[in-house]
Amino acid sequence: MSLKRLWSILKARNLEFFRDRSAFGWNFLFPFLLVAGLGIIFGGKSYTEYKIGVFPSESEQVSIEELDIPQGFKDMRYLKFIGFQNAGQGLEKLKHHRIDFLLKNGKEPHQYWVSDASPKGYVVEKMFKASLRPPEIDVNAERKEIQGSAIRYIDWVFPGILAMNMMFSALWGVGYVVVRYRKNGVLKRLKVTPLTAFEYITAQAISRIFLLMFTLVIVWAGCDLIFDFEVQGSYVDLFVIFFLGSLSLTALGLVLASRGTSEEFTTGILNFISWPMMFLSEVWFSLEGAPGWVKSFSKIFPLTHMLTAARNIMHDGAGMIDVGPQIMILSLMTLGFLALGAALFSWNK
């Protein structure tokens, strides 16, 4: 292997990326916009889980003190009251699940509407009926609390956004680009040079990993200045996990790039792999409570193990020993993808 030839390809690939200002800027702007948007929506201290429609009301913004509904229901937390001028408007929103419960503002007997297809509506109905119970009737129950600071949704989803951005950048930046080079005849021209397939693949992988980690550091630093993320574990451990994840995702991109000749077909394959990975690797939501086979299937993706380890370090203060199984799996996946990509790689169509 010639380090000079490897460096030439590595330098050329990096210059190609940095000179493409639109792609370069979007790699930084896209995750930042996602984090900023989710931070504005979910990052605040106030949080409402259930939306209660109330009519008649002159405006959508209603004052809780002015509502003539059970006081116990008004005192409940995590409820947001939305005003409607008449029942028709409220029923239309209820039918389309824009609200969870519709209540007529007035004295007893209280009238309410609920959708039998809404799980949240069922819970709110139970809450409303409980608020009608006389306060002198007590229930024998013991209340206990857990101590500790709550994790904001933006703190939980932030590693997922970074990992998702790394996934798309690795798969498309390696898999799609190499296939485009092959289709345009660039690889065929490189074949007649002293450059070997191993040197070319290695240069592509190192270039993409460098760009992934460079983007990760910049986006993390910028978002942390705004949202002040709390990391319980070590930043070094966290960096190592994201580095191993970038290795595995880049190696997977090389497998996709090894034989592809059609940009359209490669696009379909990339979407076929990336979208299930995004939804089943707990990027946006937890799979807790999902069927067992779904959880088992999600473990075939490197993104799942990278996010599991990253969140354990960030939120639970886990060390490298604690996330050892995820490190082992990511390492084995990387070696397997590299071996497969190198065995299948072809310069020609």
pLDDT in tens, 301-332: 999 999 999 988 988 888 889 999 999 999 99
pLDDT at 201 over 70: yes
pLDDT at 118 over 90: no
Q: What is the pLDDT, as a whole number, of residue 309?
A: 92
pLDDT at 237 over 50: yes
| Helix (H), strand (E) at residue 91 | helix 87-95
> CB–CB of 326/306 below 8 Å?
yes
pLDDT at 25 over 60: yes
| Percent of the chain whose pLDDT exceeds 70 | 84
pLDDT at 286 over 80: no
State the chain's mean pLDDT as an integer: 80
CA of residue 28 relative to chain centroid, distance? 16
Q: What is the pLDDT, as a whole number, of residue 47?
A: 53
pLDDT at 149 over 60: no
> CB–CB of 43/79 below 8 Å?
no
Report pTM.
0.71
The token pair that represents 278 in the structure block: 């995004």
Which residue is listed with tokens 């450059």?
195
Q: What is the pLDDT, as a whole number, of residue 116?
A: 83
| Helix (H), strand (E) at residue 336 | helix 324-344
CA–CA separation, 337 and 252 (whole Å): 6
The token pair that represents 334 in the structure block: 């990387």
What are the pLDDT digits (tens) for 33-69? 766 666 666 555 545 578 888 888 888 888 888 888 8
pLDDT at 79 over 70: yes
Query: Quick one: 315 exposed, middle or buried, by C-beta within 10 A (0-12, 13-18, 19+)?
Result: middle
| 323: CB partners within 8 A, 6+ apart | 237, 241, 308, 309, 312, 313
Q: What is the pLDDT, as a whole number, of residue 63?
A: 81
* Residue 348, helix vs strand vs coil: coil
Q: Mean pLDDT lowest for which of 56-65, 119-128, 212-221?
A: 56-65
- Beta strands 112-113 and 101-104 are antiparallel
pLDDT at 279 over 90: no
Q: What is the pLDDT, as a whole number, of residue 27?
A: 67
The token pair that represents 44 in the structure block: 């605040």
